[in-house]
């Protein structure tokens, strides 16, 4: 930008500004880059990943819950960027909550989030839901420490399964002679139980 002083007589009457647009260097190679095999391969990989994440999001039970709570709408579900963002950034966090509280716990969280949602013109549903669950997970972890009974623990192992962690594997080291003696004693006991070998008056 430059300026020029316009004088009338000895005094300055006005100032005229001259603004020149700064030239931007053209990328003469962008068409070549778009045909580069590596560029095309990376682009194809990104598109394939997006399609995979979109399909996962549409089949996820979390998408159904979000729709039921009116946290996402039809336009969101048709938007690839939104749904892939949910699948990549939000749903893994819901998995953590599901592990701790079950699917019912996720539903309870979403009901709370929906009740606190305020209308806004420029929606960023991925950022909103991600911020909400990131703020809630530490609370869940703290609750599980203070109240273990609230945790959604997996089915407890049987006593036998637990015992295997502490008891050495049993090994039958009885000798053949000892086995034979045990068989003889068992036979005698069986005879006495049947009334054989008893003295009768």
| Tens of pLDDT, residues 54-80 | 999 899 999 999 999 999 999 999 999
CA-based torsion, 100, 104, 110, 111: positive or negative = negative
Of the two residues 89 and 7, the one the predictor is more confident about is 89
CB within 8 Å of 192: residues ≥ 6 apart: 198
Largest CA distance in the chain: 159
- Ordered by start, the domain boundaries in the chain are 37-175
Of 22-36, 91-105, 181-195, highest mean pLDDT: 91-105
Task: Output phi, psi for 198, to 5 deg.
Answer: -95, 145
Using an 8 Å Cβ cutoff, are 30 and 36 in contact?
Answer: no
pLDDT in tens, 141-181: 888 777 766 666 544 444 455 455 445 554 556 677 877 88
């Amino acid at each position: 930008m430059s300026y020029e002083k316009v004088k009338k007589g000895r005094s300055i009457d006005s100032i005229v500004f001259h603004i020149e647009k700064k030239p931007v260097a053209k990328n003469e190679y962008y068409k070549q880059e778009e045909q580069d095999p590596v560029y095309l391969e990376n682009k194809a990989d990104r598109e394939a990943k997006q399609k995979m994440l979109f399909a996962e999001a549409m089949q996820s039970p979390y998408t159904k819950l979000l729709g039921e709570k009116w946290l996402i709408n039809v336009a969101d579900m048709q938007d690839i960027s939104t749904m892939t963002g949910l699948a990549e950034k939000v749903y893994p966090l819901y998995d953590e909550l599901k592990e701790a509280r079950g699917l019912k716990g996720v539903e309870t969280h979403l009901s709370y989030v929906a009740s606190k949602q305020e209308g806004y013109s420029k929606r960023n549903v991925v950022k909103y839901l991600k911020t909400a669950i990131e703020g809630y997970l530490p609370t869940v972890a703290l609750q599980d420490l203070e109240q273990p009974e609230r945790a959604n623990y997996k089915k407890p192992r049987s006593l036998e399964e637990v015992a295997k962690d502490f008891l050495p594997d049993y090994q039958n080291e009885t000798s053949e002679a000892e086995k034979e003696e045990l068989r003889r004693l068992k036979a005698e006991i069986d005879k006495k139980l049947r009334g054989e070998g008893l003295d009768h008056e």
